[in-house]
Each structure stands twice: as structure tokens, then as C-alpha cells.
Amino acid sequence: MTDAGAATGCTGRDGPMVSRSASAPAVPAPHLHVESVGQGPSLVLLHGFGLHGGLFAPLLPALARHHRVHVVDLPGHGHSDPIEPWTIDAIVAALERAFAAEVRPLAVMGWSLGGVIALSWALAHPGRIRKLALVATSPRFVADDAWPHAMAPQTLARFADELRVAWRLTLQRFLTLQVQGSEAGRATLAALRHQLFARGAPDPGTLAAALRSLADTDLRGAVARIAIPALVVAGERDTLAPPEAAAWLAQALPAAELLRVPGAAHAPFLSHPDAFRDALLDFLADE
């Protein structure tokens, strides 16, 4: 299934070369792992915090019948190299490099952190993306006086402290928060646990930097500029990206529709795969 070099211009483990002056040796760009399968318009899948693109495997047979699906491991996750500094802007730049050979604008599905990156990509490069599917995505993951639809700053700070002390155990506990309240919580948690370290351990420095990026990112004032069609998918019982945040996002985006998945928590594509798959394919069907 892996043929990312042909699809994205990556050239093996070291990726594309960066042009330098004659007096300095060329420095390889960090490798961004992309797996590509299927035929049709391109669809890029971006995963969430601490995981990797392998989590989307159950979706691929159906999606690949209609699309050329590119499954990305974000930098420092899965098979992708870490980058320094790890910021949302740096991730967007890495994605731009990886998909520079794509002639047509892309459809992008982002889950959680991946949704924040997808929104940021659309803002930074308006012509690159033609459709967005935003799953369990919030414009701001930290609460403030004007934004109650998120976790308290103290909760996120405590999570960051625990991540520094025992990141493996903290990640495993984090998975339970993602399925809390879900109708299919036990099976979804088993799927998440199975995938957590299936591509090796994520880079601990990346985890800390990604968490800081989530804490610092606030897209509420910017998303109204994203005029492309968007599907906002919310788990009715999601405690990490509450459905109220998704409803706000769908209202703020000029061309968005909202799908609330009854009984789902933070990973509706795992807990309710049939409803999720059908909605996504319907959203992309006119391509």
C-alpha cells in the first residue's frame, strides 16, 4: 500500500533535498511518512495527538474505491521524523512540501489535532484545499471566560506535567478520555490501544510541543475566512471537543454542515464507522 514517494514527491527516508549554497552541503528535510492507496481525487487524512495514520485503516477500503487516499503520520508520530521546532505552522509547511506535486486542490480530513492542522492549512494556503472534513475538532481546546466548550487550563497543565513524568502511562490514560461515554466505548478503546504503539513510540519531545501548540492555538477569529465546503463531525458525548464547540465551528465556517453522531465520543470513525463512513462519502460524492 505504501507508495508515498510517487504520490507526494518524498524520496525515501530522507525526503526531498533542500537547495543550499554551493559552499554548504545539502541538508535533507525531515522524512514525512505518507501511505497512499486508491484512485480518484486526492483525500488527505490527518490523525490526532499521540497516535498515527494507521488508526484510519478501517476506513481505507471504502474511501479508496472513490479517492486516492493519502494517510499521513504527523512529524514525530508513527514513521515520520520529528521536526524542530514542532509548531502548527511548521506542520503546515511540511504538508505543503509533501503535496507540492498535487495539481488539483486536496480534500482533507482531520481528526482532533489533525483538524486544527487542517484548518490552519486552509487558512495559510487558501487554494490548496477544496473540502474539509473536521472530526472532533475545536477552534480552541482550552476554556476561557468567553469559551466554556473546552477543558480547563488547569486540567491541560496537569496533563502536561503527567506527560513529562510518565508519558507512556499518560498516553494510555488519555485514550480512556477519548471514549468516555461512548456507546461502543470498550471496543473503541481496544482499537485505540492496539494502535497506540503499533508504529513505535511517538517522540516525547513532540508530544510536549504538540500539547503546547494545542494550548496556544485559537482559531475563533480566523475560521470565517475559510469559505470552502466543510463537514464538521461531532460525537454527541465527546468531552474533549464537546459538541457545542463543533456547533460553533459549523456556524462560523461560511459553507459548513454539522453532523452530530448520537452515542459517539471523541473517535466517531471508530465507534460508529458505518454512519461516519456514509456521511463522509456523501460529503465528498460530488467530486
Q: What is the pLDDT of residue 26?
A: 53
Nearest to 8, CA basis, from 116, 91, 103, 76: 103
Indicate the range of 27-41, 73-87, 90-104, 230-244 predicted with least confidence.
27-41
Q: What is the pLDDT of residue 20?
A: 36
- Give the pLDDT mean for 54-65: 96
| Residue 287 binned pLDDT confidence (cut-offs 50, 70, 90) | low
The x, y and z cell numbers of residue 139, run together, are 477552534
pTM here is 0.90
**Per-residue pLDDT tens over the stretch 89-137:** 999 999 999 999 999 999 999 999 999 999 999 999 999 999 999 999 9
Using N-to-C axis directions, what is the helix angle for 167-179 and 153-165, rounded to 10°? 140
Q: What is the pLDDT of residue 50?
A: 95
What count of other Cβ atoms lies within 10 Å of the Cβ of residue 104?
Answer: 10
Nearest to 236, CA basis, from 187, 281, 180: 180
Which are the catalytic amino acids?
112, 238, 266
Q: Could you give the CA distance from residue 118 to residue 88 in angstroms, rounded to a whole number?
A: 10
- Give the pLDDT mean for 199-205: 92
Q: What's the gap between Cα 273 and its chain centre?
A: 17
Q: What is the pLDDT of residue 28?
A: 66
Q: Which CA distances in Å does 242 have to 80, 148, 181?
A: 30, 10, 12
The x, y and z cell numbers of residue 213, run together, are 501548540
